[in-house]
Amino acid sequence: MTAVDEPQSYSGTRKGEPDKTIEEVWAQPTGLRWWSSVSHRVVGKRFIYTGFAFFIIAGFLALLVRTQLIVPGNTFLDNETYNQVFTMHGTLMMFLFAIPILEGFAVYLIPMMLGARDLIFPRLGQFGYYCYLFGGIIVLSSFLFDAAPDGGWFMYVPLTTNAFTPGVSADFWLIGITFAEIASVTAAVELIVAILCARAPGMSLTKMPIFAWYILITAFMIAIGFPPLIIGSILLEANRLLGLPFFDPTVGGDPLLWQHLFWLFGHPEVYIIFLPAAGMVATILPTFVGKPLFGYGFVVAAVISMGFISFGLWAHHMFTTGLPILSLSLFSAASTMVAVPTGVQIFAFIATLAQGRPRMTTPMLFVMGFLFIFVLGGLTGVMLASVPFNWQAHDSYFVVAHLHYVLIGGMVFPLFAAFYYWAPHITGRMMSERLGKWVFWLMFIGFNATFFLMHVTGLRGMPRRIATYPEGIGWDRLNLLSTLGSYILAAGVALFIFDFIRHLRHGERAGRDPWRAGTMEWLYPTVAIGFNFHAIPPVETREPLWNNPNMLGKNAEDVEGVMRKMHDGRRETIGCDPVSGSPVQIVRLPHPTFTPMFTAFALAVAFAATIASAYFVAIAGIVAGLLGFTIWAWEPSDSGVTRDAGMGYVLPVNMIEKRSHMHIATVGTMLVLYALLGSLIFALLYLWNVYPNFAAQTAQPNLLWTGLSMLAGLVLLILAMINRRVAVADKIGLATVMNLAVILASIACTACLALAIQRTDPWGTALGATMWATLGFVALNLFITLYWALFNAARKVTGRVGAGQSLPDFNLATYAKGTAVMVLITGGLFLAATLGGLS
Amino acid sequence: MTALGRQVWGLTIPAVAWAAHFIAIYALISAACAPRGLIDIPLMFGLGIVATVLFGIAALWPTIRPPKGAALTGAIRVGGLIFAVAILFDVLPLIFSSGCGG
Amino acid sequence: MSDRDRNSGLLGTVFAILSGVIVSLAVGVWALGTPGNDPVGAAAVTAGTFMEGKFRWLRAEPENVPQDWVEISKTVRGGDPQRGATLIAQYGCGSCHVVPGVARAHGTVGPDLSGFRDRAYIGGVLSNEPGDLVDWLMNPTTHAPDTAMPDLGVTETDARHMASYLYTLRGS
Amino acid sequence: MGSTLDQFGSQTTFADAGIGAARTVWLTNSMSIISLVILAFVMLVALFAWRSTGGGRVWWIIGGGIVFPLITLSVLTVASATTLRSITGEAQPEAPVIEITAYQYWWDVVHHSEGRSLRDANEIVLPLNMAVTLQLKSNDVIHSFWVPSVSGKMDMIPGRINELTITATKEGRFRGQCAEFCGLSHPLMAFEVLVLPVEEYAAYLESLDEDARDAVTPQQRRGKEVFLTSGCTACHAVNGVSENGRLGPDLSRVGARASLGAGMWRMNRGNLAGWIADVGDMKPGAQMPSYNDLSGPDLRAVAAWLESLK
């Protein structure tokens, strides 16, 4: 192999088309094929627009809620409709608006800010979007079947079990939301890898725009925070479909287990929503001050500590459930601590203001609105961390006020700032400053009128989630004013929509870098080319547009950088070292395809069919989905060649080593899977700890089979290690044999684990059911290992993989190792149960 | 490992120390105060203090001796401090209460 | 920007802030007051009465309006509609009847009392006249022994107030 | 204009009718004021920063973001821990026990006194200035017990018994409400708390132990007969008349309560009749069927008899 191969000499489904220009290679598909686009710009915009549509729907539901509460004893909505409306309001806002729209902004902005031509897994982006869209449609469609979920967005058991919510309304929620969450988790993994592995040459972690740090931490939080809810939802759905008694106290289940799992997700969720929005603020603020963010390092430290500490306060949503006072004090103390990193960020923003003469633009107005509202929301949050106060305020309108201050102040106001700030980037035209100021003041006044009074309403004893209230106990006028305020807020949003539609045709055309920002997404004239960079410029500072006179001094396409001279006729971008940002590889990116869309659709059919109890259709959907994934991954590898990227960088394509983007993605996926396993283990230990007498009734695992399963796990681990060495050594035949050995070991692991707990009755006790659930999860991973090994073997046997292309085996080895450790952990737990006894 | 890599670790170690400490304290309280009553109060107290000292030092270590390199030293100091204080706060309830209470 | 523009801009800002503060204070005081305690409303009424006195000349006096005999025939002597609404709520009429304007009065046991003024009969047995209505409210069972409507022990004064409220309910 | 529920008083937390509420009020007030002061301070700093071009200072971040919060939070933690201890410290092992079980959507109340279990429903009578242990349970879904004027809330969770010690320090009636979303009629699940001096409380307990008041008038006797023959006894108990119904609230002294339908309507004959004839309208999702097959006079008779049970 020569150092620099000829373009034609690599294999791949898509032979390079070197005769095409870079514009032609990156051309967006048109017509019906538009739907097959995988570009981060298209997918990001779709996330943003779809998220905004859900915002409008959920906002409309909020207006229904406020209208119902305008007077005591109102009959505008009956109780059932009201319950559906407030449930869907919360659900849509939290799951289908806040997180997806922020991820949309991240998907749209991150590659451009970091100097990549596209997001690192474009097809995964498309898959995530369609999962989100179909999941959202499933949830919304419940209105058509008159089966909208009505158990609250928190879905507390036992209210949402079959006994108290017969029918399919809860299934719509559980299945639709779980499906939409897949989108969030895939986007999270993709963003982690995109930020770590695809940055401009020289952009070390400390040179990244602060937005990328915020998104990086958020993505990690999603990867760890969503799994508890996914597990919770699956357990509850298994309870509803199969009658497994995870939450039934009569057989050792516990309704509080659901609350723990839900809030283990639900509390970090708030910060998952807040952090990207704060990242937007930290991006917008320096632009209008004209100086870099003050205290970059402090903010990074604060974001990291926020990301961690926010996982330690889930139980402050459970202060009234009768937990031991000692637990309450722990969570109370942990809750107050989150004020510190928040304070650091707020004061870093304020210190940035002091650096220069801020320009008062519409985005700045929204940023200032954020500062006011969010600080107050944070302060009431600290109040709620006080246990005795919480006992009074919990589940009252005080909490409603608090959470809207935090979420609308901490997320919606920055989001509107972001709309005004990045609108020229997306549409090429400026939104109206004049209307924008009206939008701001309407929203600001309307918001405070609506929610400030709710603090008082709550402390006057009005509980949340009540469809009606009696007259004359001090809530009438407060509610009336809150409702009027909500109409003003809605008017502001309506005016924004008008402005947005107006500006598409009549807005002033935006010039290049219209706000005089310093980050790289503004390098090209607005509505830039689809591949972001003709050449990826080396980056020395955090605000390259301010500090590098080359950038705005030249035409954007003439800015010097790597990859200018590469004309392989493939979509490709530069891959970097995660820490230092120095280029280490060239990443070949896929072209437009319908496969991810088809896969998402097949899974959507499977999920929807499960709601409709059409299980054969569901199985067909799952099989089709698996087929989709297989086709998706079937194309030959691009590894094994080396190319000259210019500027002295001669780099391998899709390199095979630990820093490969594929490998980091595999590790990221393992992180998600371990969070899922961790949630199940939490459930096991929790039930065992809380109901000793029911634990004693659960049959102990069989010692022999448990031992054998651990042995099989160990074998799998060793085989995986060998498989990696063989892959690195590039021995194709031996690797095929190792694949088959991994398959056998996976089967052995599954069988031994199942035989170990064969006497445990999943319907007998909740602990038994959870043991089977854990087994099911590990078995699923073993099945994926098996399928992947089979897939790799098949590709090698059919000659799709050539020399130097063992990346799939390299990654499989990592996955198999992770699975083997899962088997060892599970086996260890079973062993402990056998030896120590469950009693 | 590069200097910058070590600095990134310097940011992460206190965070992980805090997480381990939090899980330890939560597990100890759960073990002592749940119906099973796996351990008694004095043992919970003792183990809690041990964990605090251990993880507290781990969290403060990068603050006291930041890894070489200038890029993130300030952030490492602040981060370590925040997490050390958070560890202290998390153990306060253990110190100031006589039992599980309520 | 000229000095003059700047001055008017400053004035505008000060005015906006001042009026914002005043409006918020007034609204806040009103919102926090209990139903019986309404200093802002009282102040508004006082101010309104005062202004009305000053600007009475603006209102043209009606001339030679013909007597509305229906109006007079549906007037209950000594009845205060507002007091009546409260009493209707207190006696629990709303658990059986829809009574517009009374909170939580949406019962479906008895007839809907919307547009009561235009009804011809009461309980299907008495004609809809003030005297009969007051009597019916006090003793429905004397007039219709098989009715499901209980004698609620309504006093005559209370019945007059309630009747006068019911006659404010006009058909659409 | 008076209100139909003003006799219960409002259900505000700004009250001193119980130790839990009274000791939290100062915390509420001081934390609210401090919050607003901090907000104003931060805004002023921001305004100052906006107008200055001197550049940020690291000590702003250290001072405003770390030192100041730490001081405030330490004070808050101490204040709230002290308050918490002073509230939970009221618990006494020998305090009278009241067992409250939540159903969708009403409350079953059992007073444990001198070995007797005395049942009532939807109205909780408490002795003045005496610590009482409430044992909170649930029969179906999660509910939450909350009397804002007396004490903070505590959830009622199936499979668990949560204990809440409360001490009422003011005579009178207070309104409480279910604070955890529990289904269709969650907004209609309230109750009353009646605080009586200790002697009157003892008398109240005795009255729970006695048979219900006898039917006197012909209409009341007719009502009792209809009650016994229409299937009401399958769910409702009335001391000395029929004591096996346990699915619905105990009605032995229903007429003595100030409210009907778990704290939602004034107790009178009109509301009783409306309730019996059409429960589904007054409380959607309630287990009780609507008795609209009773003749008019029978309906009136049952209502009259129930109203007389005091």
C35 and C90 inside one domain: no
For residue A6, what pLDDT is reported? 52
**Virtual CA dihedral for A72, A74, A78, A83, nearest 10 degrees?**
-40
User: Which of C27, C103, C106 faces A471 most closely, judged by CB atoms?
Assistant: C103
**Virtual CA dihedral for A165, A167, A173, A179, nearest 10 degrees?**
140
For residue B83, what pLDDT is reported? 93
A392: nearest CA partner in chain D:
D152
In a domain, residue C153? The reply is yes
Based on the number of CB atoms within 10 Å of its own CB, is A255 exposed (0-12), middle (13-18) or buried (19 or more)? Answer: buried
Q: Report yes or no: A628 and A597 within 8 Å, Cβ to Cβ.
A: no
CATH number, domain at A741?
A: 1.20.120.80
Q: What is the number of H-type helices and E-type strands within chain A?
A: 27, 4
**Residue that is last in its domain, among A488, A506, A524:** A506
Tens-digit pLDDT profile for residues C15-67: 988 998 888 888 888 888 766 677 777 888 888 888 877 777 666 666 677 77
For residue A12, what pLDDT is reported? 47
| Residue with tokens 């998907």, as numbered in its chain | A107
What's the rounded Cα separation, in Å, for the pair A194 and A589?
12
Report, as an integer, the average pLDDT of D91-106. Answer: 90
- Single-letter amino acid code for the residue at B55: F
For residue B5, what pLDDT is reported? 86
Give me the total of CB pairs closer than 8 Å, taking one residue from chain C and one from chain D.
82
- Single-letter amino acid code for the residue at A435: L
Cis peptide preceding A130, ω within 30 of 0: no
Q: Average pLDDT of chain A?
A: 92
Give me the total of CB pairs closer than 8 Å, taking one residue from chain B and one from chain D.
12
Report, as an integer, the average pLDDT of B14-20. Answer: 94
Q: Which residues of C touch D10 (CB under 8 A)?
A: 34
Q: Report yes or no: A409 and A372 within 8 Å, Cβ to Cβ.
A: yes
Can you list the alpha helix ranges (DSSP code H) found in A575-660? 595-611, 615-634
pLDDT at residue D8 is higher than 60? no
Tens-digit pLDDT profile for residues C157-170: 999 999 999 998 88
D270 and C92 within 8 Å at the Cβ level: the answer is yes
A799 touches chain B (CB under 8 A): no
C107 and C149 inside one domain: yes
For residue D98, what pLDDT is reported? 95
Tens-digit pLDDT profile for residues D207-264: 998 888 888 899 999 999 999 999 899 999 999 888 888 899 999 989 988 888 888 8
- DSSP H or E run through D113: strand D106-113
- State the total domains in chain A: 2
What's the rounded Cα separation, in Å, for the pair A442 and A366?
12
For residue D4, what pLDDT is reported? 42
What does the block give as tokens for A307? 């990301």
For residue A669, give how far its alpha carbon lies from the nearest alpha carbon of chain B (Å): 20
C54 and C109 inside one domain: no
For residue A465, give how far its alpha carbon lies from the nearest alpha carbon of chain D (Å): 6
Tens-digit pLDDT profile for residues B41-95: 889 999 999 999 999 999 999 988 888 877 788 888 888 989 999 999 999 888 8
For residue A754, what pLDDT is reported? 94
A468 touches chain C (CB under 8 A): yes
Tens-digit pLDDT profile for residues A721-758: 999 999 888 888 899 999 999 999 999 999 999 999 99
C141 and C86 inside one domain: yes
Q: Which residues of D touch C36 (CB under 8 A)?
A: 1-2
For residue A11, what pLDDT is reported? 47
C88 and C162 inside one domain: yes
A474 touches chain C (CB under 8 A): yes
For residue B26, what pLDDT is reported? 94
CATH number, domain at C124?
A: 1.10.760.10
**Residue that is last in its domain, among A506, A537, A553:** A506
Name the percent of chain D lying above pLDDT 90: 60
Q: Which residues of A touch D160 (CB under 8 A)?
A: 249, 256, 322
Q: Which residues of B touch D90 (CB under 8 A)?
A: none
CA of A834: how far to CAs of A679, A684, A698, in Å? 22, 14, 11
User: Which of A346, A388, A460 faces D80 most closely, judged by CB atoms?
Assistant: A388
- Chain D: list its partners (3+ Cβ pairs within 8 Å): A, B, C
D271 and C152 within 8 Å at the Cβ level: the answer is no
Q: Which residues of A touch B26 (CB under 8 A)?
A: 327, 330
A375 and D142 within 8 Å at the Cβ level: the answer is no
- Single-letter amino acid code for the residue at A699: A
How many other CB atoms are found less than 10 A from the CB of residue A145? 13
In a domain, residue A434? The reply is yes
For residue A24, what pLDDT is reported? 87
What's the rounded Cα separation, in Å, for the pair A617 and A124?
25
pLDDT at residue C145 is higher than 60? yes
Domain that holds residue C15: 3-58
pLDDT at residue D35 is higher than 70? yes
In a domain, residue C105? The reply is yes
A392 and D28 within 8 Å at the Cβ level: the answer is yes
What's the rounded Cα separation, in Å, for the pair D201 and A3?
95
Cis peptide preceding A158, ω within 30 of 0: yes
For residue C88, give how far its alpha carbon lies from the nearest alpha carbon of chain D (Å): 9
CATH number, domain at A317?
A: 1.20.210.10
Which residues numbered 108-137 in D keep a CB inside 8 Å of some CB on A? none
User: Which of D66, D73, D81 faces B96 most closely, judged by CB atoms?
Assistant: D81
* Probe site for chain B from D59, D66, D68 (most B CB atoms < 10 A): D66
In a domain, residue C118? The reply is yes
Exposure of A549 in the CB half-sphere (CA atoms within 13 A): 0
Which residues numbered 180-199 in D keep a CB inside 8 Å of some CB on A? 180-188, 190
For residue A429, give the DSSP letter.
Answer: B
User: Which of B11, B75, B93 faces A330 most closely, judged by CB atoms?
Assistant: B93
User: Strands D106-113 and D131-138, how do they pair?
Assistant: unpaired
Domain that holds residue A401: 40-506
What's the rounded Cα separation, in Å, for the pair A482 and A495?
20
* Probe site for chain D from C95, C102, C147 (most D CB atoms < 10 A): C95
Divide the 839 residues of chain A into consecutive groups of 10 and give the mean pLDDT of each group. 47 64 87 90 95 96 96 90 95 94 95 94 94 94 92 93 91 93 90 95 92 96 95 95 93 94 94 96 95 92 93 92 90 90 94 91 95 95 94 95 95 96 94 94 95 93 92 87 96 96 93 92 87 92 90 88 85 92 92 93 95 94 95 85 88 90 95 96 94 88 94 96 91 91 96 93 93 96 96 90 86 96 95 82
Strands (E), D123-223: 123-127, 131-138, 143-147, 151-156, 162-167, 172-177, 190-196
- Single-letter amino acid code for the residue at A536: I
For residue C19, give how far its alpha carbon lies from the nearest alpha carbon of chain A (Å): 13
- State the total domains in chain C: 2
B81 and D81 within 8 Å at the Cβ level: the answer is no
Tens-digit pLDDT profile for residues D151-197: 999 999 999 999 999 999 999 889 999 999 999 999 999 998 999 99
A481 and C105 within 8 Å at the Cβ level: the answer is no
What's the rounded Cα separation, in Å, for the pair D231 and C77?
46
C90 and C135 inside one domain: yes
What is the three-class DSSP state of A797?
A: helix
Report, as an integer, the average pLDDT of D21-32. Answer: 93
**Which of A222, A208, A43 is CA-nearest to residue A120?**
A43
Exposure of D249 in the CB half-sphere (CA atoms within 13 A): 27
**Domains of chain D by start residue, with CATH:** 1-209 (2.60.40.420), 218-308 (2.60.40.420)
In a domain, residue C45? The reply is yes
Q: Which residues of A touch D83 (CB under 8 A)?
A: 386, 388
Q: Which residues of D touch A255 (CB under 8 A)?
A: 142, 157-159
Tens-digit pLDDT profile for residues C76-113: 888 888 889 889 988 889 899 999 888 888 888 889 99
In a domain, residue A657? The reply is no
Q: Report yes or no: D160 and D12 within 8 Å, Cβ to Cβ.
A: no
C40 and C98 inside one domain: no
A376 and D61 within 8 Å at the Cβ level: the answer is no
User: Which of D73, D77, D88 faces B102 most closely, judged by CB atoms?
Assistant: D88
φ/ψ of A3, rounded to 5, equals: -65, -40
In a domain, residue C171? The reply is no
